[in-house]
Amino acid sequence: MKNLFKFLRGGVVLLLAHLFVLPVFLLSQELKIIPYYSLGVVEGAFIPNKGDWNFSVNLLSDLGVMVKPSEIHSFIGFYELKYTGPGLKRQEGEKFTDRTMDHLVSLRHNFLISDSYFLKSQINYMKEYKRTGSNEPWGTGLYDFDRMGGMISVGRKFSDLTVLSLTGQYHTMKFPNYTDLLAEFQAGSGSAESSAGKQNHNIIQAGVSLDVDTNKLAFDIILMNYTKQHIAEATLSAGSYYGSDLQKDIIYNVSARRIQKVGETFTIAPEVAYKVKSSNQNYLHFESFGSTTPPVYFDDYYSYNEFAFFVPAAIALSKRFEFSVTPEWDYKLYKNRNPRNTDGVFLTNEKQSNNMFILDTGLCFKPNDVTRTTLFYVFQNQKSNMKYERYLPYNYTGNYMGIKFEYTF
Amino acid sequence: MKKAKIIFTVVACCLLFVNGAVQGEDFEDSAIGQELVNIGLKFLDNPGDFFFNLHMANEDFSPVPFKKHGSIRWNFFPTTLPLSWMNLNLKVKAYGEKNFVPQIDIIGQYGDLLGLRMLEIEEGDVEPSFNDYSAGLVFSKTVAEGTQFYWGGKYSNVSMEVKLSSSSEVEFGDFKFSEVKFDIKDTFIFAGITHQKNMEDPKRLVVQMGYGLDYKKIVTRMMMSHEHYEWGIDILPEGMFVIHPFMGWHWNF
């Protein structure tokens, strides 16, 4: 009976998948239809100077279609399945062995209001599964999340080379498996429910971007409002650490980029980005799990400034071969967070700072219009005055090399 | 013990090197030795997953080629050789592409582990059982000359039960095997592209990515198919072996 059910379920899924794709071809007699398929595979090995070397694999499959019923309307349906395997991480707070699997579905409508104005609207849904352990089944990760929301953007073309866009986005982020283990432990088993959902938040984003020829200037404000997570406070009564205010984060992003062609074969695209994150959340440091010693309070623990600079450059060696190199510098300075020494002791006279440098090089072979094969080598170095690395790496040098295959139609 | 050797020749001969690795203390401490031990432990933790991944090599859910009505395929590596895992994959074109209606293919696959049939049953043993099959539908549409986009769904099942009496237990480093039992079923959805550069030349490239709804398994295939011979790799990012090379023979009629 169970097998029969699975057969039937498979049939229903197949039917739905077919019903989704078939109308595209049914309509193709009258509409402009542009299908899109892309498959990317990255296979390599990373060798950090701390921890074990390991193989890494990343997979990406995109499936999309653009339907253009008239000159002023176009619709784009898109599905992406992405697997990110173990490897050197760019973000602080992740282990090299973490893996993620993402499903992304989006539907976009582009509307050419007039010769000068256009409107883009989009709804999207994303599901991310995250595995931090080798035996943990997919779907049970603490940081699995669902993101749902939409975007609307209005733009004006001042000329063929100058475009100004205003964009607004709203998304909800839900972490169905997340729970505050410490809070559960402290509150007892009867109150476990109150510790769930503390990562859930809403994201409101507003941005403006200006494109002038091959130059781009962008500015974004992102508000992250947590729906259940209260802020930690210095001293309340014993056993009570959180105040009545909910956590709110604000991020300001500004970036500028220029794409410059030098001759027929060389292209360089330098980009600078500056980010300011401000959070009202504070940090309570417990000596150990279940410790009876009162926690130490650290004010404004999560606010930081970050500056990044990239210089992607590519040179066409021939019609089929291209060599690319991208140096990247990233500096992150916490506003009030103290680093820790190797024993875990907080150094109260310093602020934590992380410096990262990445050099990404690749030799790309394009035998035809649809396939690309790239041999790549990445050097990554991160330095930080945070020396306590019992759980996460902060100071390391890593080498990552491998092969990337892409098929795009 | 003779029977036990047969079983492990059949069910895990590609892991035999681990046996040596875990017994050599110095080698075990080396990076490669540790990696091999990890692979061995991964197999012990979930042997069904390993067999299911091998089963993928027996399947071919790419569409029947242009101007053909069907296809018979036999995957000879790494299943028939070295594991004695015989298999057959059959494709039938149920509806040819016409105007806007896509080509529809019905595809099925069946396999059997012949090595298990050779076992002599002793008192206290459970008769070994093995199942390997899959079935599904594939829709394909020509999107450019020589290029087909395809999508579909399939149901796959691999199950096995081998229980040894205490006298037949197999020592595997510090571990003892007395039973292998699993039953893995999953429904996959997938999409891919076939690309034939020259319509007069049957050689074609197949790329495909699929997703299992129950186990959330991602499988990516890149395959080069010639007139009768085909080879390629399956990439299973969470598998015991991430890359599974395979070779097969087919007849398109």
Model ipTM value: 0.81
With a CB cutoff of 8 Å and minimum separation 6, the contacts of A47 are A53, A398, A399, A400
* Nearest CA-CA partner of A85 in B121, B220, B67: B220
> Would the pLDDT of B51 be above 90?
yes
C-alpha to C-alpha distances, B154 to A164, B58, B65, B234, nearest whole angstrom: 47, 13, 19, 16
Label residue B1 by pLDDT band (50, 70, 90): very low
Q: How many helices (H) and strands (E) does chain B have?
A: 7, 12
Q: What pLDDT score does B3 carry?
A: 47
Query: How do beta strands A266-268 and A296-298 pair?
Result: unpaired
Which residues, numbered 34 to 63 in chain B, qualify as contacts with chain A under a Cβ-Cβ cut-off of 8 Å?
42, 45
Whether the Cβ atoms of residue B57 and residue B246 lie closer than 8 Å to each other: yes
Task: With beta carbons under 8 A apart, name residues in chain B contacting A21.
Answer: 139, 151
B241 touches chain A (CB under 8 A): no
Distance CA B70, CA B64 (A): 6
Q: What pLDDT score does A185 carry?
A: 58
Whether the Cβ atoms of residue A52 and residue B180 lie closer than 8 Å to each other: no
* Nearest CA-CA partner of A146 in A77, A200, A214: A200
Q: What pLDDT score does A38 carry?
A: 93
Q: Domain extents for chain B?
A: 2-252
Where is mean pLDDT largest: A8-17, A23-32, A229-238, B4-13? A229-238
Label residue B168 by pLDDT band (50, 70, 90): low
Q: What pLDDT score does A296 carry?
A: 87
> Would the pLDDT of A303 be above 80?
yes
The more confidently predicted of residues B197 and A405 is A405
Distance CA A83, CA A61 (A): 9
Query: Hey, are the CB atoms on B218 and A63 less than 8 Å from each other?
Result: no
0.90 exceeded by pTM? no
Q: What pLDDT score does B17 carry?
A: 37
The more confidently predicted of residues B2 and A98 is A98
> Would the pLDDT of A341 be above 50?
yes
Q: What pLDDT score does A11 carry?
A: 55
Coil, helix or strand for A286? coil
Whether the Cβ atoms of residue A338 and residue A298 lie closer than 8 Å to each other: yes
Give the alpha-carbon dihedral of A138, A139, A141, A144, to 10 degrees.
Answer: 120
The whole-number average pLDDT for the span A141-164 is: 95
Phi-psi region of B229 (alpha: psi -120 to 50; beta: other; left: phi over 0): beta
The whole-number average pLDDT for the span B203-217 is: 93
- B2-12 helix and B47-58 helix, angle to the nearest 10 degrees: 60
Q: What pLDDT score does A3 carry?
A: 55
Q: What pLDDT score does A314 carry?
A: 97
Q: What pLDDT score does B174 carry?
A: 64
Of the listed ranges A102-106, A166-170, A208-212, B195-199, the least confidently predicted one is: B195-199
Residue with the two structure tokens 């403006």 = A208
> Would the pLDDT of A53 be above 60?
yes
Q: What pLDDT score does B179 carry?
A: 79
Where is mean pLDDT largest: A33-37, A52-56, A143-147? A143-147
Tokens of residue B17, six digits: 């090197």
Chain A residue whose CA is closest to B153: A14
Query: Hey, are the CB atoms on B151 and A55 less than 8 Å from each other?
Result: no
Label residue A98 by pLDDT band (50, 70, 90): confident
**Which one of B213, B218, B240 would you mutate to disrupt binding with A, by most A Cβ within 10 Å of its Cβ?**
B218
Percent of chain B with pLDDT over 70: 80
